Amino acid sequence: MACVTVERLDTPRGELVLRRAGPQHYEIVSNGTFLMDTRNGASERALVRAAVGSPSRPARVLLAGLGVGFSLAEALGSARVGSVTVVEVEPAVVGWHRRGGPLEPFSAGGLADPRVTVTVADLAAWLATGTDRYDAVCVDVDNGPEWTVTPGNAALYADAGLDALGRRLAPGGTLAVWSAAAAPAFERRLRARYAGVDVLSVPVPRGEPDVIYLAQDHRDRARSPSTGTRSAAGGPGRTP
């Protein structure tokens, strides 16, 4: 089905395009690389569900990347979530989710929810400027640790980036990272830092499954090391 360009922008990170695919769906493309669409979002929802888990108090959630809004809608639909902080580098993406924006239905109007705080900022820079800590830190700003939107994002998944993300985790919190494919080197870095690492595989219609990496119990604070791997059934991810 032919796509229609809704908006094309030149940003400091290059070209950003929002396309309409048929009468109902949208796609986001960065510098000619397909990032995500609104057709399903099963793995984005699973990212949040797995990260939030069953907290003993209303969870404080950090969403790194707004995208098409599935993660935000999932977080706000959970009675276990008390607050959500969204960090999104592209102001246009935030605008597409504002009232009347084309992506507002997919985030369930979440930007108007009083539990939500939105900051337009580069994630790495934002991590370095504050000290707030979260029960769930959900990272979905690239196609994965080994398939980044911009070259600079690779640092997020390296040692310094993981250290910065880990400093934002509350005790007992979960770091969750979305990937369009398995990233073995990234998984090894997680296992070197966390006593509990799970890998969730979410099937997609074509190609490799989407992968969600979950890390808990930083080894500096861990009491009993454990690792594991599990699979989660799901629908189409971000495969166009």
The band of 1, judged by pLDDT with boundaries at 50, 70 and 90, is: low
The band of 38, judged by pLDDT with boundaries at 50, 70 and 90, is: very high
Name the least confident of 60-64, 132-136, 148-152, 169-173: 148-152
pLDDT digits (tens, 9 = 90+) for 176-197: 999 999 999 999 999 999 999 9
The band of 239, judged by pLDDT with boundaries at 50, 70 and 90, is: very low
pLDDT greater than 90 at residue 174: yes
User: Residue 220 and residue 134: Cα distance in Å, rounded?
Assistant: 17
Distance of CA 206 to the CA centre of its chain: 21
pLDDT of 146? 93
How large is the average pLDDT for residues 72-77?
Answer: 97
User: Residue 45 and residue 220: Cα distance in Å, rounded?
Assistant: 30
- For the full predicted model, state whether its pTM sits above 0.75: yes
How large is the average pLDDT for residues 26-40?
Answer: 93
Residue 50, SS3 per DSSP: helix
pLDDT greater than 50 at residue 227: no
pLDDT greater than 60 at residue 225: no
- DSSP strands (E only) in the chain: 3-11, 14-21, 25-30, 33-37, 59-64, 81-88, 116-120, 134-139, 169-179, 194-202, 210-218
Bigger pLDDT: 162 vs 231: 162
pLDDT greater than 90 at residue 206: no
Q: Which residues contact 29 (CB under 8 A, 6 or more apart)?
A: 16, 17, 19, 35
Q: Which residues contact 69 (CB under 8 A, 6 or more apart)?
A: 97, 103, 104, 106, 107, 108, 110
> If you average pLDDT over every residue of the chain, what do you get?
90
Bigger pLDDT: 230 vs 152: 152
pLDDT greater than 80 at residue 165: yes
Q: How many CA atoms are closer than 13 Å to the CA of 2, on its beta-carbon side? A: 2
Spans of all domains in the chain = 40-218
pLDDT greater than 90 at residue 16: yes
The band of 40, judged by pLDDT with boundaries at 50, 70 and 90, is: confident
User: Residue 47 and residue 63: Cα distance in Å, rounded?
Assistant: 10
pLDDT digits (tens, 9 = 90+) for 95-109: 999 999 999 999 999
Q: Say which CATH class 40-218 falls into.
A: alpha beta
The band of 52, judged by pLDDT with boundaries at 50, 70 and 90, is: very high
